[in-house]
A and B are shown apart, each in its own frame.
Chain A
């Protein structure tokens, strides 16, 4: 019941989520020989998370800022919900696009409630509707204890500020969210927590999201699709995380993804997705793990126990089966359930 006030009332209500399409987008800065973005094209279906990832100098932030016209395009076109962003007034366009940056950029002179209510105020919502929306959003990002509303940003922790930043971006229920390394300045523990929270939130609100990071692990975790960019803003590969890990398009992608991409793929698979070994008679090492554990973590536990199998239990604590070293190895080997193509492996080794 919480997240639909923005859509229900008023002429300024937005569509749920929009498709995003980049068509031959090029950005060339005056006086620079190499373009920052070269002929970039990709399509993001409504409600999906597209991660732009690449080394520094690959233009991922530039690509993102072209979308809400913070940077002017040199050539090409960008369509949001089928409509060119070039046909829109930049300020009006931006009010329909949630924007989260690494430094967060909360307004220090406004209370948390006023920060979150920024876009609705710009859109001319009525006061009471804004207040209601602010409460919903605080609830949604896990800050709903009512105490935080009237505080100022300086009084919040880094993690709280980042949540407020996300709430501010979501305030008018924008069809598209742009997130530039949103968790980049957060310590590792809180970072994982914020990533998990965002995924939970995204499952609930289903925005179209463009997410920029330089961290391939974060890209694999957060993305429905990943666009890997290389120097000069050239698209090296655009595919699902599984596909990028299974069959990197070239040396560059293989190297960027890392030689441990087999292990990374294991992190994408949960024990509940596997055909477990039947428990009868096989000695287990006594360690019990739930079905939702990912195979990467399970492998780590097996290795830590000297190769002994783990006992897998379901939600009711019933034994569901065993996971063994052989089972995991079989998954990755030729013909395995989540096999990595041998040819791509060779490429990866050469790339190191």
Chain B
């Protein structure tokens, strides 16, 4: 609700004299690099920064909730079905509808909190499924050995189960992160933050498309970068997964 959005409508040029003296913006071309550079620091960069913050908070909270539920579900098997059912329902609600459904709720309204609640709810199914699959697939003999050498159940979780579930967990984080980066553009309808803000502004205001394309490209670039970083993180954290043969 804070940052000023894109520059105002295109000013018609009444100076006459053909198109050679007109700027890219005045000609209303599809994409104007000059607009991008002149609006980088006041429009695009703040939007990108907000987008990153929206994503990190949503994935972070979603991960914490999913991890806790998945660990609980390994101890209490019956939990798995209801969690998957609820997370599945949340996941299938169309994003625009969910934002609109949350807005009337007292204490939420048009705010970043509303956006985060919706974004977190989309990560739950993906993250919970991946984390619990990863934990479940820890080989029975490894778990038995861990118990047999005298690890407590907490030590088994932190030293054996979670490290071995890491590839599945990171796979879930990648999907969840990319999903949230995409959905966070829609979140602008309730909080007017992130890369969705310039996109909505462009849709509403005029036929000028540069800010829409620039913000869209930034979202795609951000998604790819996040994915690459997570793959790198996984490679660093699981050296054993690559050590297959001598």
**Is A68 a contact of B148 with CB atoms below 8 Å?**
yes
Assess A92 versus B150: contact at CB under 8 Å? Given A108-B164, A109-B238: yes
Tell me if B37 counts as interface (CB < 8 A to partner A).
no
Asked if A155 and B243 make an inter-chain contact with CB atoms under 8 angstroms apart, the answer reads yes
How long is the Cα–Cα vector from A109 to B238 in the complex, in angstroms?
A: 7
A103 at the interface (CB under 8 A from B): yes
Give how many A-B residue pairs fall within 8 Å (CB-CB). 77
Q: How large is the interface on A (under 10, 10 to 19, 20 to 34, 35 or more residues)?
A: 20 to 34
Cβ of B38 < 8 Å from any Cβ of A? no
What 0/1 pattern do residues 132 to 153 of B give for CB contact below 8 A with A?
0000000111111111111110
Given the interface pairs A92-B150, A95-B150, A99-B149, the reply to whether A107 lies near B160 with Cβ below 8 Å is yes
Residue of B144, B149, B163, B245 contacting most chain A CB atoms (<10 Å): B149
Interchain CA distance A101-B145 in the complex, whole Å: 8
Find residues 230-246 in chain B having any chain A CB closer than 8 Å to their own CB: 238-240, 243-246
Distance between B150 CB and nearest chain A CB, rounded to angstroms: 3
Give bound CA distance, A122 to B246, whole Å. 29
Which residues of chain A have C-beta atoms less than 8 A from B164's C-beta? 108-109
What sequence of 0s and 1s flags, for each residue 154-197 of chain B, a beta carbon within 8 Å of any chain A beta carbon?
01000010011000000000000000000000000000000000
| Chain A contacts for B243, CB-based, 8 A | 151-152, 154-155
> Chain B, interface size: which category?
20 to 34
Interface string of A93-104 (1 = CB under 8 A from B): 111110101011
Q: Is the CB of A154 within 8 A of B151?
A: no
> A9 near B: Cβ within 8 Å?
no
Tell me which residues across on chain B come within 8 A of A90, comparing CB atoms.
Answer: 150
Q: Contacts of B142 on A, CB cut-off 8 Å?
A: 105-108
Complex contact B149–A118 (CB within 8 A): yes
Which residues of B sit under 8 angstroms from A110, Cβ to Cβ? 240
The 8 Å CB contact of B149, one of A103, A108, A119, A154, is A119
Please tell me if A168 contacts chain B, counting CB pairs below 8 Å. Answer: yes
User: Which partner residue on chain A sits nearest B144 by CB separation?
Assistant: A105
**CB closest residue in chain B, given A156:** B246
| Interface assignment of A250: CB less than 8 Å from any CB of chain B | no
* Contact in complex: A155, B145 (CB < 8 Å): no
On whether A168 and B141 interact (CB within 8 A), knowing A108-B164, A108-B240, the answer reads: no
Chain A residues near B163: list those with CB within 8 A.
109
Given known pairs A103-B141, A151-B243, the reply for A70 and B149 (CB within 8 Å) is no
A146 to B146, CA, bound (A): 25
Chain B residues with Cβ below 8 Å from A103 are 139-141, 144
Out of B145, B240, B246, which one reaches A109, CB within 8 Å?
A: B240
> B141 touching A101 by the CB < 8 A rule?
yes
Is B240's CB under 8 angstroms from A154's CB?
A: yes
Q: Is A196 an interface residue (CB 8 A)?
A: no
Determine whether the beta carbon of B145 is less than 8 Å from that of A95. Answer: no
Task: Across the interface, name the chain A residue whose C-beta is closest to B159.
Answer: A107
Q: Are A122 and B145 in contact (CB under 8 A)?
A: no
Residues of B within 8 A of A (CB): 139-152, 155, 160, 163-164, 238-240, 243-246
In the A-B complex, the 3 residue pairs with the smallest Cβ-Cβ separation, listed nearest first, are A105-B145, A94-B150, A103-B141
Q: Jot down 9 A-B pairs with beta carbons below 8 A, ordered by A.
A: A70-B148, A94-B149, A101-B144, A104-B145, A105-B143, A105-B145, A107-B145, A108-B240, A155-B246
* Extra inter-chain contacts (14) besides given A97-B150, A103-B144, CB under 8 Å: A70-B148, A91-B150, A96-B150, A105-B142, A107-B142, A108-B142, A118-B149, A122-B150, A122-B151, A122-B155, A151-B243, A155-B243, A168-B149, A178-B148
